[in-house]
Structure 1
Amino acid sequence: MKIVKKNSAETLGDILAHSIFLKVGRIRKGKIITQEDIDLILQDGIEQIYVGIFDDDDLDENYASKKIAEAICVHGVALSPTYSGKTNITSKYDGLIEIDEEKVFELNRLSGNIAVSTLNNHDIVYNGDHVLSVKIISYAINNADFEKIIKFLVSNKIIQLKPFKSLKFGIIYTESVNEKKNIIEKTKKSIKSRVSDYNSTIMDEIVVNHDIEAIKPALEKQLTMDLDCVLFFLSSSVADVSDIIPSIISQLGGKVTSYGMPLDPGNLTLSGYINNHKILVAAGSARSDALNGLDWHLNSLHAGLEIDQDIIDSLGVGGLLKDIDFAVRRKRISKNINTKKANIAAIVLSAGESKRMGEDNKLLLEVNGKTIIANYIENISKSNVSEILVVTGHQSDLIQAELEKYDVNFIYNPNYKDGMSTSLRAGINALSNNIDAAMICLPDMPLIGIYEINKLIDYYNPKIGNEICIATSNEQRGNPVLWDKKYFRELSNILGDKGGRHLLSQYEEKSVEVNLGEAVSFDVDTKSSYDKLK
C-alpha cells in the first residue's frame, strides 16, 4: 500500500488515510471514499487529501485479520466481528488461558504489519472475556506476509482454553494441643466458600492431631474414596521437604511436585500426588479469606493444569498479592462466581426505521452469518443481566421472528415514529418490580459482547455512588448506559427523538465512566459503516 496526496475529486474508491473534520462532522480514516464523501469534502473547500492505494498483492485489513484470527481459534473460543483491521477472540467458558509466549513472539516477528496481543499466560478468563486480538497495522497487508502467517499457524497453536471443571475434595485438618477450637471452624467456612466458586464439593472432612501417626491413616482413608484431591489445612505449615506431609506422600508412593511458591501470602503451599489423587497442602495464611497462593493452586487444579516447580517459580513477578491491583488480581489469581445473574435488566431499543440505511432494516443485516440483532441478543443472553426487554416497532414481526429462540420479552411500541423516547418509556414501564437497575442498549452496535455488558454490571454499586455506569472509548462516551432504578421516572419523562444522554450532565457525581474500547463507540448507521464489517 502507498499513502499519497491526491485531488479530492479523484479519490472515489480510495481509502481515506487521515481523518477529515468537516462542518457536518468527521469522516474517519480507513473509510472507502464515496461520491457523497467527495461532495462534502469539496463543499468545505478541501481540494486535496491523503489516501491509501492498494498494491496488486495487497489484501484488505479486515479480510486478513479475520482469516488470521480464524487460524488461531481453538475449541472454547469465539470470534467477534472484525472492524478497522482488528478481530477479538473471546472465551466461551470460565477457565485458564494458556499462551505459548515464544510462539506469539515468533508470530509477531513474521510481519511488521501484524500485532497479535494476548492476556498473560494462565490468566483467568470468564465467559465472554477477550483473550486475544489480531490487528493489521496498516489498511492492508501484502499477500506474501499473509501466507507466511497462515502457514505458521497451521502447524503452531498459540493458545489453549482450559475450562474449569467441578471436583470432589477430601479435607484433613490438624490441630495441636491447646490450640483454639474455633480456628478450624473458621477455616471450614473459608474453604467451603472457595471451592463453591467452582461448583466443587467437599465429600469428606477429618480432624486429627498434628502428628504423623494420626495424619497418615486419615490420608490413607481418603485415598480409598472417590476423590479428586485431598486438601490439608495444618496446625503448623510445612516447614521443609522432609516434614510430615512430604514424608507421608513419599511413603505412600507419591511425589511432591512443588513446594515453596513466590506468592505472598501463600509461600509455604505444597502440591503433589499419590496415584490418581492430587495432594494440596495450604499455608497457614490460607485460613483467611484473603487472596493467597492456595487460590492460584485451586485455579490450576480445576483447569486440569499439570503443576511443576518451574511453573511455580515463574509466578514471582507480581507475586505480592496484597499489593497488586484488583483488576490484575482478578485475572491472575482470584476466581469468583462471575456467572451470577444480577437484578439488572437490559432494555434493547429495536423499534427504529433505520432511515439512514435506506430500504434495509439494519438490525436484520448479517455479520458473520447472524443478523445484527440476533448476535446482540445472544451475547446479552449469556451475560449477567436477569431480564431482557426488546422494544419493537418498525417491522416488529420480523424482529420478533428473528429472536423467537431467545428468552426475551417483547414490548411493542405503537408510537415508535415519535422518537426514541417513546421506546425508552415503553421499556421502563414494562420492567419487573424487583429490578434494581436497567441497561439501555442500542442493538446496532455489533462489537458489543458479553465482556462489555458484564463489565458495566461489575462497576454498578449504588452504595459507593456508582448509580449510573457509562461505557466509554478514548474518553468519549458511548453505549450502553446502566441506570439505577431511582432514575426510571426521569427517563420515562423524556420526550422526542432522544434517550437519556442529556440527563447525564445533571448527575456527574453519581456516574462512573467505564473504558471498554471501540466496541462501545461503533454502530451500524449507514451502508459504509456496515461495509466495514464485511
Structure 2
Amino acid sequence: MKMVPVQEAVGMVLCHDITQIIPGKFKGRAFKKGHIVKFEDIPRLLDLGKQNLYVWEINKDLLHEDDAALRIARAAAGHGITLTEPKEGKVNLVAKEKGLLKVNSDALYSINELEDVMFATLHTNQIVEKDKVLAGTRIIPLVIKDDKIRNIENICRINYPLIEVKPFRSLKVGVVTTGSEVYHGRIQDEFGPVVTKKIASWGSYVFRQIFVSDSTEMIVNAINQLLREGAEMITATGGMSVDPDDLTPAGIRAAGGRIVTYGAPTLPGAMFMVAYMGKVPVLGLPGCVMYSRSSIFDLVVPRILAGEEITRRDIVALGHGGLCVNCKECRYPDCGFGK
C-alpha cells in the first residue's frame, strides 16, 4: 500500500472506500474498496476533496481480487458449470443443467489450506437443478501474488475437475413388485407409482412392472423377463424384511445377482440391497421408499443415473450423515441427509 496523488493513481486499486456526503441529502459510498481507478474518475475524486489516495499498485506479480477469483473458478469448473461475473471480489459457480454434483473434497481441502483464498461448495453427490449456485470463491485481500493463483491452478489441473455436474442418463427401468397381498389383489399397489414418479423426475422411465407372489422362482423369472426386454435398471419393491415370507433378497441372489450389499447405514433405508446382473443394477427397495419423502433410494439412484457403479464402500460411507431427522417440512437435498 502506498499514498499517491490522484492524477497518478490511474490503473491502481483503492485500499479503502471513499465516502460522499451531501448534507441533508446523501451519505454513502462513492467508490468501493478494490475499485480500479480510471482516468474519468479523477474529476469526481477531486470534487470529493481527494488530492491523494491509498492504493495498491497492480503489476505483473499482483492480481486484483476479481481477476484472481475468475482464474480460480475457471481452473476448478468442469462439465455442466457456468461462472458468474465477479461481484465484490467473489465468483459463483452455477449449474447449467440438472444432474449430479461431484466435488473433489481432497482437492478442495488443499486449496482452502492455502492462505489468502477461500472456496466453498455444496456437498458432493447430490441432485442439483439448473441455475442452482454450487460454489463460490474469492481471495481474502484485495490483491494477491500471481504465483499463489498459479499454485491453485496447478492443484485444479492435477485433480480436474474439482467440481462438475454429471448429466443423468435416461434409463429403461423395470419394476418387480412382490407380495401375495398385492399379487392376489387383496390390496392396491402403492409402491409402483412412487417409484415410477421418482424415476420420471430424474429423466428415466418405467417401461414395465411385473407383480409376483412371495416366491423365489417367480422373482427370478420376473427379473430375467425384464432383462430379456432390455431393462437397464431393475427395482424390486417389497419383501425386504426378515419375515419368512419376504423373499426378495433370496430371489435376487437366485437370479444370479452379484450382491454389493444387503443392508445400508441409513435411516430410512437400512434394509436396502444393491446387486448387479452383468452391468444392470438390481435394487431391493425396503418399504420406507414408499412412504418416506427421502430415503436411501434418493441417495443411490441419482449416482447410477449419472453413470456410476455403486460399490460397498459407497454405501458404507453413507453412515456419516445417513440419519434423516424427518423434518416437518422436508428440504432434501438442501439438508444433511446423506452428506
Is 2:182–2:188's contact at 8 Å kept on the other side of the alignment?
no
* Partner deviation per Cα, 1:36-90 (whole Å, 9 max, x = no partner): 4422431xxx787654344662122222222232222222222222233322222
Is 2:11–2:36's contact at 8 Å kept on the other side of the alignment?
yes
Is the aligned partner of 1:63 residue 2:58? Answer: no
Where 1:330 maps in the other structure, the secondary structure is coil
Seen in structure 2, the aligned counterparts of structure 1 residues 191 and 59 have a Cα distance that, compared at 3 Å, is: same
1:289 Cα deviation after fit: 5.7
Match of 1:308 among 311, 316, 321: 311
Report the number of matched residues. 325
* Partner deviation per Cα, 1:337-371 (whole Å, 9 max, x = no partner): xxxxxxxxxxxxxxxxxxxxxxxxxxxxxxxxxxx
Is 2:71–2:149's contact at 8 Å kept on the other side of the alignment?
no
Seen in structure 2, the aligned counterparts of structure 1 residues 317 and 252 have a Cα distance that, compared at 3 Å, is: same
Where 2:72 maps in the other structure, the secondary structure is helix
1:326 Cα deviation after fit: 5.9
Q: Matches of 1:114 and 1:255 in 2, distance apart?
A: 46
Seen in structure 2, the aligned counterparts of structure 1 residues 327 and 71 have a Cα distance that, compared at 3 Å, is: farther
Is the aligned partner of 1:254 residue 2:257? Answer: yes
Is 1:255–1:273's contact at 8 Å kept on the other side of the alignment?
yes
Structure 2 residue runs of 5 or longer lacking an equivalent are none
Is 2:108–2:119's contact at 8 Å kept on the other side of the alignment?
yes
Within-5 A mapping of 1:119-268? 119-157=122-160, 158-176=162-180, 181=185, 183-234=187-238, 236-239=239-242, 244-268=247-271
1:277 Cα deviation after fit: 1.7
1:212 Cα deviation after fit: 1.3
Within-5 A mapping of 1:8-23? 13-23=11-21
Seen in structure 2, the aligned counterparts of structure 1 residues 90 and 122 have a Cα distance that, compared at 3 Å, is: same
Seen in structure 2, the aligned counterparts of structure 1 residues 151 and 191 have a Cα distance that, compared at 3 Å, is: closer
1:87 match: 91
One-letter amino acid matched to 2:134:
V
Q: Matches of 1:154 and 1:325 in 2, distance apart?
A: 43
Seen in structure 2, the aligned counterparts of structure 1 residues 57 and 50 have a Cα distance that, compared at 3 Å, is: same
Percent identical pairs in the alignment equals: 25
Seen in structure 2, the aligned counterparts of structure 1 residues 152 and 300 have a Cα distance that, compared at 3 Å, is: closer
* Partner deviation per Cα, 1:233-278 (whole Å, 9 max, x = no partner): 11x32439xx844444444433122332233222211111111321
One-letter amino acid matched to 1:71:
A
* Partner deviation per Cα, 1:484-518 (whole Å, 9 max, x = no partner): xxxxxxxxxxxxxxxxxxxxxxxxxxxxxxxxxxx
One-letter amino acid matched to 1:197:
S
One-letter amino acid matched to 1:58:
L
Seen in structure 2, the aligned counterparts of structure 1 residues 332 and 261 have a Cα distance that, compared at 3 Å, is: farther
Where 2:319 maps in the other structure, the secondary structure is coil
Seen in structure 2, the aligned counterparts of structure 1 residues 53 and 37 have a Cα distance that, compared at 3 Å, is: farther
RMSD: 3.0
Is the aligned partner of 1:39 residue 2:46? Answer: yes
* Partner deviation per Cα, 1:434-466 (whole Å, 9 max, x = no partner): xxxxxxxxxxxxxxxxxxxxxxxxxxxxxxxxx
Q: Matches of 1:221 and 1:249 in 2, distance apart?
A: 13
Is 1:299–1:333's contact at 8 Å kept on the other side of the alignment?
no
Seen in structure 2, the aligned counterparts of structure 1 residues 332 and 210 have a Cα distance that, compared at 3 Å, is: farther
1:7 Cα deviation after fit: 7.4
Seen in structure 2, the aligned counterparts of structure 1 residues 177 and 325 have a Cα distance that, compared at 3 Å, is: closer
Is 2:257–2:282's contact at 8 Å kept on the other side of the alignment?
no
Q: Matches of 1:123 and 1:212 in 2, distance apart?
A: 35
Where 2:107 maps in the other structure, the secondary structure is helix
2:106 match: 102
Structure 1 residue runs of 5 or longer lacking an equivalent are 335-534
1:102 Cα deviation after fit: 0.6
Is 1:169–1:230's contact at 8 Å kept on the other side of the alignment?
yes
* Partner deviation per Cα, 1:301-349 (whole Å, 9 max, x = no partner): 2222221222222223433334359685134699xxxxxxxxxxxxxxx
1:173 Cα deviation after fit: 0.9
Larger RCO (CA under 8 A, 6+ residues apart): 2
1:178 Cα deviation after fit: 9.3
Q: Matches of 1:298 and 1:184 in 2, distance apart?
A: 25
1:15 Cα deviation after fit: 2.2
Seen in structure 2, the aligned counterparts of structure 1 residues 177 and 87 have a Cα distance that, compared at 3 Å, is: closer
Q: Matches of 1:291 and 1:182 in 2, distance apart?
A: 28
Is 2:220–2:252's contact at 8 Å kept on the other side of the alignment?
no
One-letter amino acid matched to 1:218:
A
1:171 Cα deviation after fit: 0.8
Is 1:169–1:202's contact at 8 Å kept on the other side of the alignment?
yes
If the length of structure 1 is used for normalisation, what is the TM-score?
A: 0.55
